[in-house]
Structure 1
Amino acid sequence: MGDEGGGRRGRTTSELQRLKKQAMEYYRQNGVPLQLEELLNSTFYLQPDDVYGHLANCFSKLAKPPTICKVVGKGVLDGLGLPTLQVEIFCTVQNFPKNICSVVISSHFEVRENSPPELVEVEEMGRNDAIRTALQWVNGPISTELQGLNPSNQAQVDQVLRAFFANKVQEDLERKALEDVLEDTPVLTPLPPVPLPPPPLPPTKKKGQKPRRRDTLIEKPVLPEEPPEPVLRGSMAVGAVSLAVAKASAILSSKPLYLNLALLKHSQELPLKLTVPLLMVSLLSCGKASPGKLNLMKEVICIPHPGLSARQGVEMLLEIQKQVNKTIEMVPPSKTEMKKGHNGGKKGQQQITGKMTHLGCLAINYDTMEQPILLLQGICANLGLELGTNLHLGINCAAHELMDYSKGKYEVMTGTFKSAAEMVDLYVDLINKYPSIIALIDPFRKEDSEQWDRVWGALGARCYIIAGAASGSISKHLEEGNLIIPLASGLIIKHTNQTTVSDLVEVTHLIDSKKCTAVFGSTEAESSDDSLVDLAVGLGVQFVKLGGLSRGERVTKYNRLLTIEEELAQDGALDVHEEHTFFCLNEEAATAAEALEVAAVTADE
């Protein structure tokens, strides 16, 4: 008898021998291998106070890796109360099914304000049909095909999803071909030909009358809008399941999602440091759906200086937003004051009012392009900040929403129309006057490629020219093996539809190889799922565009970004932005700008 220390303390020698004898008898009866017998002997001898806990730890390392046993799709609501898709991943862990995680994907449908009821009804039907089909895919064939796969093998999972989607595309093509055949019925009795009306008489020309100028000028026709890329209903099931599997893998390996994605991006070699993307925060909206005459600025975007942390940038912008709200809540002046011009400027100037948009920013009733910039400039001055130093601006022009096809021009303000060529001069003048604007998003429709070339040549060395709606889908980029965008500095990528996590990794590699700027953007109808931020950090994009600092579905993403920044800083893995400017001058753009200046000087001479 005696106390021999460690796990044996409190047990007599005879008791320990009895336990060992019982264990050995059990091993012989059950054919336990010698190595395992030695392990169990040491367990009973050294850990008698917590035998089962110690065994659980030992055997968990020897257990079969978790495998997907079920995928469940559910219909949920996004931040605007619109239907979208949630996906849950169940895995078999140590012989027991376990709910690992869930994700919610945002739909690709645009949020149209002030749309006619018939268009709203059509889009509502399309959205409901897309969700219904996605649920059928997830709860049926996708769940079956993914059973037994290891969630840590993202490439295999995504390959299964891609093959499944390709089959669905082929089925859809065959269905449409059959419908076309059924609709193509021959005409039994041809209709008699309709006689053509006589040609109109030429207008009589008065004696001495000179031809009008419009008769001599031939305007270049405006290219019609390209049809949108087809989106197969139900395709969001593929993107949602792929992201859910990536999140499940991260949870099972006890890693945050952004680290799991960084491993995928860097071929399973985790970089020593990760960078938090720079913020693009929507603060004001002066677009077509906003009150006031100004249409051009769908989003006035604030971009904190790269030297600031994400937390410092958010705190600065919250203070600016607070001051904007105070300005909006000012008591309207009396009619006498407005007549005298006491409203801070021009006679009869409209009082600032605003409402919160679905993008999480304020819609302002401004009438000129200078007004929102001057508002922010004045607020920054009151706070001791300087535009162009502490804070920079970006403009989401959303030009595709401004085209009046009956006139062939962009309606930049109510009743004020500009041709595509005139828009180039407008942007150059605006940035010459306000050099704190360092980004233009969608300054033209994607069809106006000549103007994209011109504005990039004129401004590409001074600000980012970003393709958002003018960019092709991620599937199109990967299919072509090239970026399907006009001449631009970069593009906005989004996780929607059939985009898998592997697709996102591939497209960011493609963007990096082209030395373009990647902006990871949220959709117009966002959910409260914050996985988008992990994607942006893990994939190493330069900017993240999450909307405004209001509305829960957007604020939750900013909170996630701040959490990731804190985690990286605590682990010593946060890579700070060393550059004091946002971008190095694009040599090609700078050369083009110099050529334009030389051409202008030569023309003047």
Structure 2
Amino acid sequence: MPAIQNIRAKEILDSRGNPTIEVTLWLDDGQAVVTSVPNGIKHYPNEAFVLYDQDSEHMGGRGVQKAVALINQTIAPQLTGQDPTQQTPLDQFLQQLDSTPQKSKAGANTLIALSQAVLKAGAVATGQPLYQYLIQQFQLTDHAAIPTCLYGLVNGGQYGSDNLDIQEFLVIPASHLDYRVSLEMESALRTKLQEMLKNQKANYSFGELGGFTPALQKNTDVFEFIVEAARKTNYILSRDFFFGIDTGGDNLVSGGKYLLKDKSTGYSEKELLEYYKNLREKYNLTYFEDPFAVKDAGAWQAITTDLADAARIAGDVITATQPSLVQHAIENRLCNTLVVKPSQVGTVTETLQAIKLARNAGWAIVISQRTGETNDDFLADFAVGVGAEFVKFGPTNRGEAVAKYNRLADIYQALEQTHQEGTAMTEPTQPTNTSTPAVPPPDEPTVDQTTEPTSVLGTPPAPPAPAADPSPTDLPQNTSIPVVEPPQPPTSTPAKPPVVSATPMPPKPPAGPAVTPPATPPPNIPPPSQPPTPPAPPTTPLAAAGPTEKPSEADVQQSIDKTLSEIGAKPPAVPGGETTAPPSAPAKPASPTASEPTPQE
């Protein structure tokens, strides 16, 4: 198995022009992976700490040169020589390197960049696409399927220009729509909506996430515009698509009221709940994200109780991808859907723990972009690999979103090709009626026949029991990291990765044929997502240690202390006035030994 040879971080820009971290990881067989970290528009208390330079002379204080230096000078040497398939032990090493509750020493942006790089490298090392590697290693789903896309056509609130109060107005394709047809629908609705806004002189611009930001009298006017735009297409509300919203409840509270322009005096918690219920009835909303402020737990419980059977109540700020907060939300029935953003928590392992908790509670999973995104398509593979029901990448008019949608299209074509060839799958990967013989689909979506509404939010099949994995409380505290033995070089051709079975799909609507894409032969299965021609690893030796040399524990401690001192970070205080020392990396024996069995993830 290839081992990690080198890691280099650098500062790049996100979609909003703010600095963020990009990491390149090289394996000793010459392969390389690249990953980058998105930024949020606002840091909420529940999220892990983000390490910025705080230097007003560089990028307004939002530079990440300190994080880059911490990776290159201190952490990277500790990861060289390690087996990239050992995700959990290496993530535990990163967690113990910064054992503060909110990653306040090293920063979640520093750690997630490394954790994502290790995950990508593990997939490359095993010769698998990232989504298939996730399925095999972590077993959060037993099939590969394309999630339903939540398209944010209109932005308001902190994502817009204060013309509207609600952050995102979402169009959600019905479950009978094939992925490629859902992209066509989004494009058609967005084009017609733009024409209408222009004709109505609605003075629109584009928001932080790429959605329109029109100047309208009320928030509900957005739904009216989209419904009217749909009439100019072949798509129909409640049959082909539904509505959803991301309210951003914490940003609406002022003076004890929720302020929306739909009512001049504002809304109490009970009044806002009734407002949501009316939206549900009138416009068929099936998704409510962050409907209330975090502090209003009673309101969260009320909307989950009242609308759980008809809609997804999604928690983002209230859970922040933190396993402990997800567990709290489950126990108090605050929501029934988890919004997942790995950069909120800091490591892939913690992200997977949060997803497992939500899965065991019967929740749905939404893999979401951040406001300051990058062109990394990591989230597309991650969503398929963990069996997420939904993804939220924004509209299809921004490069950082298009990169992810194109990667989903690659995965879709790979699954379709595999099914057509019959080499790994015996069931279709898109919705079909499993109780009757298949009917050849039309080349284009047929929407002129009357059908019953098909809710995208039907109860998903129960996921398989996940493999045993340590809960947040099971992680070792202030202990050394498990030893990860270096693997033996392969002596024979590696076996093909296990096949991925297709998803069992729900039945079609009672009338009319199912909508599927044209039967065009797709290209071959794409290789694992990675740079086509990775740069050669730097030849200059790392300051702290060479790629095959393990520094002494005293040297490591001195290097960590020096780096943290340079960037102005202090070790966390512990009872007794002492400080917690960062742990040493997994030991790398001088001579090869028999390979250890891979621990359960």
TM-score, normalized by the shorter chain, greater than 0.5: yes
8 A contact 1:165–1:235 mirrored in 2: no
Judging changes above 3 Å, is the alpha-carbon distance between structure 1 residues 109 and 140 closer, same or farther for their aligned structure 2 residues? Answer: farther
> Which residue of 1 is the match for residue 485 of structure 2?
none
- Residues 288 and 498 of structure 1: is their aligned pair in 2 closer, same or farther, counting only changes over 3 Å? closer
Q: Which residue of 2 aligns with 1:132?
A: 65
- How many residues align structurally? 424
Counterpart in the other structure of 1:276: 146
1:310 is the counterpart of 2:179? yes
Q: Secondary structure at the match of 1:413?
A: coil
Aligned equivalents of 1:459, 1:371: Cα separation in 2: 23
Matches within 5 A, 1:239-254: 239-254=112-127
Q: Are residues 1:69 and 2:32 paired? A: no
Distance 1:475 1:237, change over 3 A: farther
Q: Cα 1:154–1:134, aligned 2, differ >3 Å: closer, same or farther?
A: same
1:91 match: 27
Q: Distance in 2 between matches of 1:230 and 1:408?
A: 32
Residues 287 and 498 from structure 1, CA distance in 2 versus in 1: closer, same or farther, beyond 3 angstroms?
closer
Pair 1:289–1:251, CA change in 2 (3 A): closer
> Which of 543, 561, 570 is the matching residue for 2:417?
570
1:294 Cα deviation from its structure 2 partner: 3.6
Aligned residue among 130, 145, 167 for 1:257: 130
**Structure 1 counterpart of 2:190:** 321
- Residue deviations 1:169-208, cap 9 Å, x none? 39xxxxxxxxxxxxxxxxxxxxxxxxxxxxxxxxxxxxxx
Structure 1 residue matching 2:27: 3-state secondary structure: strand
Q: Unmatched 5+ residue regions in structure 1?
A: 1-64, 113-119, 171-228, 333-350, 587-605
Counterpart of 2:298 in structure 1: which amino acid?
E
- Residues 398 and 482 of structure 1: is their aligned pair in 2 closer, same or farther, counting only changes over 3 Å? closer
Alignment-derived partner of residue 380 in structure 1:
230
Report the equivalent of 1:431: 280
Match of 2:372 in 1: 525
| Distance verdict in 2 for CA 1:524–1:384, change over 3 Å | same
C-alpha distance in structure 1 between counterparts of 2:112 and 2:83, whole Å: 18
- Residue 80 of structure 1 deviates from its aligned partner by 1.8
Q: Does 1:510 align with 2:510?
A: no
Partners of 1:145 and 1:481 in 2: how far apart?
35
Matched AA of 1:451: A
Residue matched to 2:296: 448
Quickly say closer, same or farther: Cα 1:146–1:289, change in 2 above 3 A: closer
C-alpha separation between the residues in 2 aligned to 1:321 and 1:411?
28
Matched residue of 2:270: which SS?
A: helix
Provide closer, same or farther for how the CA distance between residues 498 and 464 of structure 1 changes in structure 2, counting only shifts above 3 A.
closer
Alignment partner of 1:148 is 2:109: no
1:575 Cα shift? 3.1
Q: Distance in 1 between matches of 2:280 and 2:328?
A: 34
CA drift at 1:484: 7.8
Whether the 8 Å CA contact 2:149–2:172 is kept in 1: the answer is yes
Instruction: State the 1:129 CA deviation.
Output: 6.0
Structure 2 residue corresponding to 1:101, chosen from 33, 37, 48: 33
Q: Could you tell me whether the CA contact under 8 Å between 1:482 and 1:510 is conserved in 2?
A: no
What's the CA shift for 1:369?
3.0
Which amino acid is the alignment partner of residue 335 of structure 2?
A
Q: Where do 5+ consecutive residues of structure 2 fail to align?
A: 45-51, 420-424, 434-453, 461-601
Question: Matched residues in 2 for 1:233 and 1:129: separation?
Answer: 15
Structure 2: distance between partners of 1:558 and 1:328: 25
Q: Is the 8 A contact 1:134 1:235 kept in 2?
A: no
After TM superposition, list the pairs within 5 Å mapping 1:48-67 onto structure 2: 65-67=1-3
What is the aligned counterpart of 1:400 among 227, 234, 250?
250
Report the Cα offset of residue 472 of structure 1. 3.8
Give the whole-Å Cα distance in 1 for the aligned partners of 2:6 and 2:76.
Answer: 6
Tell me, yes or no, if the aligned pair for 1:290 and 1:365 is still in contact at 8 Å.
Answer: no
Among candidates 211, 219, 222, match of residue 369 of structure 1: 219
What corresponds to 1:583 in structure 2?
457
Summarize the alignment of residues 177-576 of structure 1 with structure 2, pairs less than 5 Å apart: 232=105, 234-266=107-139, 271=142, 273-287=143-157, 290=160, 294-295=164-165, 297-330=166-199, 351-404=201-254, 407-413=255-261, 415-434=264-283, 436-477=284-325, 483=330, 487-496=334-343, 498-572=345-419, 573=425, 575-576=429-430
Q: Secondary structure at the match of 1:360?
A: coil
Write the deviation string for residues 541-569 of structure 1: whole angstroms up to 9, x where unpaired: 11101112111111111111111111111
Cα distance in 1 for partners of 2:365, 2:55 equals: 30
SS at match of 1:71: strand
Asked whether the equivalents of residues 286 and 365 of structure 1 are also in contact (C-alpha less than 8 Å), the reply is no
The CA RMSD measured in Å over matched residues stands at 2.9
Displacement of 1:501: 2.1
Change (3 A) 1:531 1:472: closer
Q: What is the CA–CA distance in structure 2 between the aligned matches of 1:153 and 1:135, rounded to whole Å?
A: 23
> Is contact 2:323-2:351 (8 Å) kept?
no
SS at match of 1:283: strand
Partner of 1:58: none
Render the CA deviation track for 1:324-368: whole Å, top value 9, x for unaligned.
1211222x6xxxxxxxxxxxxxxxxxx312111120111111111
1:45 aligns to what?
none
Q: Given the two structures, how large is their TM-score scaled by the length of structure 1?
A: 0.65
3-state SS, counterpart of residue 210 of structure 2:
coil
Bigger relative CO (Cα 8 Å, ≥ 6 apart): 2
From the superposition, tell whether residues 286 and 367 of structure 1 become closer, same or farther in structure 2 (CA, over 3 Å). farther
Residue of structure 1 in register with 2:48 after alignment: none
Change (3 A) 1:497 1:380: closer
Whole-Å separation in 2 of the counterparts to 1:466 and 1:507: 14
Q: Which has the larger radius of gyration?
A: 1
Measured at CA, do residues 442 and 482 of structure 1 come closer, stay the same or move farther in structure 2, by a change above 3 Å? Answer: closer
CA drift at 1:486: 5.7
How far apart, in 2, do the equivalents of 1:582 and 1:370 lie? 21
Give, in angstroms, the shift of residue 585 of structure 1.
Answer: 6.6
- The structure in which a higher percent of residues are helix is 1
Between the aligned partners of 1:126 and 1:420, the Cα distance in structure 2 is: 40
Q: How far 1:103 moved relative to its partner?
A: 0.6
Q: How far is 1:130 from its partner?
A: 6.8
Q: CA, structure 1 residues 382+127, in 2 after alignment: closer, same or farther (shift >3 Å)?
A: same
| Equivalent residues of 2:322, 2:345 under 8 A apart | no
1:211 — aligned with what?
none
The alpha-carbon distance between structure 1 residues 529 and 373, as it changes in their structure 2 partners (threshold 3 A), is: same
Secondary structure (helix, strand or coil) at the match of 1:103 reads strand
